[in-house]
Amino acid sequence: PLGLRVQGSADLGHMKAILDRFMEVDDYSLLSELTVQGTSRFDTLAHGTYLEPLLDGGISLTRGRMNLRGYQGAEDIQADLVLKDRTITIPEDRPVHGTLAHGELKASGSIAWRPGGLDTYALKAQLSNFQLRDVPDGLDLQGTLEANLTGTEEGGVLRGRLRADRISYQSEVKLSDLILRSALSDSGGLAGLDLDDPLERIRLDLELDLRTPWSFDTNLLKLEGRTDGPFQVLGTLGHPVPKGTMVFQAGGRVTNIFPAGDMVVDRGSLSFSELRALDPIINMQGSVSSIPGYTVNLDIRGTLSNLSIVPSSTPSLRQDEIVAILINPGNVANVGTAGGSSG
């Protein structure tokens, strides 16, 4: 039988190394990917047997920091952990407090361990007023997350509600690269994921509540809009995937596509599917009115990898003539001038 009582304080990193040895954490466990810093106070009793170890007592963390495989982690962590046999509990009346992504983190719940690493976990968390920038590059997301994280060593699910106070995207986009990526994107939900990455083991099931219009400001599109109906964030923590429909507000612009000038958006939408996140369904109507004597109306439908553009004009022109003046407004002198609107 095993019976060893240990009390005192220690560097949090040293304390974790000791616990890793006691729990026989292997190299493939999520716990092995976790690095910690700070100070700890502990009063613990190791019991059971050497083959079936158990641990009772408590550990307090102050000024802690936690990182998972080098990703941005939590800071200023204050926590009181209760140990009983093979369960680590964070009481709901004494939750973990800390800072993550510039927001206030609060969490409670339990973690069960076994020799080798994690067994199961069930955590309730709230991250208030966080801000994520450039994850991915160009994205600015601000809001509050309320979610439950449950799972095992093999993987888990983060399920809850994301209240987004601001979503904006600002970047330079190469149209050729975007179309190629859309055309080559695999329809398999897990295709291309690095399952050794701990963030890829956590699936997402989040309801998005968008409080203000989203904005999209690139060299090709300058748009604002809102969600239409239920909107979810699925995929994994490493690769979030939107699912739902976003509608455009009138007045947005499609730029640097047509030599004749910008297309002003009248209405439209983007519909995202979990299976083809890089290839949303586009439905957009707008007009180019910078061509002397003509207004060209464009109806754009399909996906980036299979896009259909149907032009019409006022006064009426044949479609080949419309294309000619979109490519070179100087061709206005060489096209017909019949009234009406082409179909």
CA angle 79–84–87, rounded 5-degree value: 75
CA–CA gap between residue 325 and residue 317 (Å, rounded): 10
Q: Could you read off the pLDDT tens digit of each residue along the chain, which spans 343 residues?
A: 788 999 999 998 888 888 888 888 887 777 778 888 899 999 999 999 988 899 999 999 998 998 877 677 899 999 999 999 999 999 999 999 999 999 999 999 999 998 888 899 999 999 999 998 876 678 899 999 999 999 998 899 999 999 999 999 888 877 666 656 655 554 444 444 555 678 888 999 999 999 999 998 888 889 999 999 999 999 888 888 889 999 999 999 998 888 999 999 999 999 988 777 767 899 999 999 999 999 999 999 988 778 888 999 999 999 999 999 999 999 998 887 544 444 4
Which one-letter DSSP state was computed for residue 236? B
DSSP class per residue in 34-74: EEEEEEEEEEEEEEE-SSSEEEEEEEEEEEEEEEETTS--E
pTM, rounded to two decimals: 0.84
